Structure formats: structure tokens, C-alpha cells
Amino acid sequence: MLTYASKRVLIGLVTLLAASIIVFAVLEVVPGDPARLMLGMNATEDAVRALQEQMGFNQPLLTRYFNWLGGLLTGDFGKSYTYSVPVLDLIKERMAVSLPLAMTSLVISTIIAIPVGIFAASRRGSATDTAAMGIAQIGVAIPNFWFALLLVYLFAIVLRLLPAGGFAGWENGFWPSIKSLILPSLALALPQASILARVTRSSLLDVLGEDYIRTARAKGLSRRKVLYYHALRNALIPVLTILGMQFSFLLAGTIIIENVFYLPGLGRLVFQAITQRDLIVVQGVVIMLVAIVVIINLLVDLGYAVVDPRLWSRS
């Protein structure tokens, strides 16, 4: 188990290092001099040169990479050119919107999907199973930003129950902020819930076909007891893997949804930073999101190995 865990951690670290090289390299080839972009087209050559020196833009490529990497490791993500504040502060501030948004979506998607998946699997082939999976099939096909527009039309324009966009800010109270996140969370959750419901159903059907389930039934246990006490536990293992993957997807998925709802989250920050050529912010946000994905995948892998010893015993 320890060998398996160490190998996974090492792979995670190497992935992160490679990702840092890619993020740095991709943004290096961006056309345009950041110093000139920051100062505007009318800036004098002297002013541009002075800013290049101040920001370290004129240093050799490798020096800049190692300075940036060293900064990341010590929590210094650099300073935003456009906001003139440390990038890490910006990320923390925007995370206060994106993280609750992704987590609420994950909770909503789980609350909807798992019962629907269990219900459909336990009534395999029935009209309710067909209907539930039909709806899930449509749910997978719906783009979240289109669903967001429909939600805005219904709940903000027709019923006037929820705001169409914007974020009240946590400092202005819990309820107004949560109200701003309800529609975006629902929009993000629907396609994920559809995928999760399908995975839950198929995983449960796999387990229900196993010999030990037949044995449990033959012992005289009720269908319900077999389903909830024996089958569900094992069936939820792949579901948890998908949940882990979905969290990273939801965090990145906020990039479009935050634009639909004008939410000041990480997605909107990275989008604005790209258009303003504030590359240090783009680098910081992307590497932060990649780190989150790597850590979540690592935790899912390790968690999976804990519940399924075959994984690490094979390695």
C-alpha cells in the first residue's frame, strides 16, 4: 500500500512540475510585450524598458521560470499588473465565490443523481427506469450555459424569485449571497447530475449481478436490505471516483457560468486576465486549478486503493 501511495504521490508531483513548465511556456509565446500592453501604445521606449526591468521581463527565460516556480512554492504568486495586488490575494478573494459555487453544484448534483440512479437500477427495465434514464440522456446533452439562460428567464424574469446575475458579497449577508448562487449552481449541477445518475445506475446493476448478491438473496434477505446493505456500498466506489473528477470539472466549468451570471469568481478572473494580458494572474489561476485537480485525483486514487486492496496489491 505504501509503495502504491508513494508512486501515486510521485506521479502527482511530476505531473505538477510538467504542468508548471507547460503553463509558463504557453504564456511565454503570447504575442505582445506585457510591459507595452500595460503602459499603452503611447508609452515611451524608456518607460517600457523601466517597467520591463522592474517586473523582471528582461531576465533570461530559465531565471524567470525558476523565480516563478520558487515563488509558487513559497506562496508568492507574483503581483497582478492590472489590479496591483498579490495574485494569491486575488485568487483567495475569487475562490470565495467559485468554491461555494462548485461545492453547491456538487451537493445538488449528488442529491439528485444518487437516488435517481438507485431508483432506476432497482426497477431496471420498468417505465420509471426508462423515463429516468431518458431524462438523464437529455440532461447530458444540455449545455449548462443554455440551461442557465432558461433558469434566468423563468426564475428571474417571469417569477422574479431570484437575481438574474451579480453577486451580493459575503460581507452583505449569507442569504443574499446564497440567493445569487442558486441559479448558477443549478445550471452547473444538471448535466453533472445526469452523468452521475447514469454511472450510479450502471454501477449498481454491475454489483447486483454479482454472486454474493445472489447468495444474500438466497439466504432470505429482502430485496431492499440486499440493495442498501450489500450492493450500494460497493456500487458507490466508482461513483465516488466520478464525484472527485466532477469537482475539478465544476471548478473549471465556472468559467462560462460565471460569465453568464456576472459572478466575480475564478473563472471570470482568468477570462478577464487573459483579455487584459495579465499573464501572471492567468499563470497563477491555471496552476492553482491544475494543482486542485491533481490533488483531488490523488486523493480519489488513494481512497480507491483503501477500499479496493486489489489495486495496490497488483502494483
Partner 1 sequence: MKRTSSLFTNRSFLIGAVITLIVALTAGLSFIWTPYSVSALDIVAKLKPSSPAHWMGTDHFGRDILSMIMVGSRASIFVALVSVAIGAGIGIPLGLWAAARGGIVDEMLMRFNDLVFAFPALLSAVMITAIFGPGAINAIIAIGIFNIPVFARVARGAALSLWVREFVLAARAIGKSEGRITLDHILPNMANILIIQGTIQFSLGILAEAGLSYVGLGAQPPTPSWGRMLFEAQTMIGLAPHMALFPGLAIVATVLGLNLLGDGLRDVLDPKLRHMR
- The site for partner 1 (CB under 8 A) is made up of 11, 14-16, 18-19, 22, 26-27, 29-30, 124, 133, 137-138, 140-143, 145-146, 149-150, 152-153, 157, 198, 202, 205-206, 248-249, 251-253, 255-256, 259-260, 267, 270-271, 274-275, 282, 286, 289-290, 293-294, 297
Distances in Å between the alpha carbon of 181 and those of 77, 105, 188, 255? 28, 9, 11, 14
DSSP state of 79: B
Listed residue (128, 305, 118) closest to 202, CA to CA? 118
CB of 257 to partner 1, least distance (A): 10
CB nearer to partner 1: give 11 or 221.
11
CB nearer to partner 1: give 54 or 315.
315
Grid cell digits, residue 254: 465556472
H helix intervals, 155-309: 174-208, 211-218, 223-225, 232-260, 266-275, 279-307
CB of 61 to partner 1, least distance (A): 17
CB of 210 to partner 1, least distance (A): 13
CB nearer to partner 1: give 48 or 152.
152
Grid cell digits, residue 152: 434566468
Q: Residue 195: phi, psi to the nearest 5?
A: -65, -45
Listed residue (61, 110, 97) closest to 240, CA to CA? 110
CB nearer to partner 1: give 48 or 293.
293
CB nearer to partner 1: give 78 or 253.
253
CB of 135 to partner 1, least distance (A): 12
Q: Residue 79: phi, psi to the nearest 5?
A: -120, 135
CB nearer to partner 1: give 50 or 274.
274
CB of 90 to partner 1, least distance (A): 16
* SS3 readout for 185-214: HHHHHHHHHHHHHHHHHHHHHHHHCCHHHH
CB of 262 to partner 1, least distance (A): 11
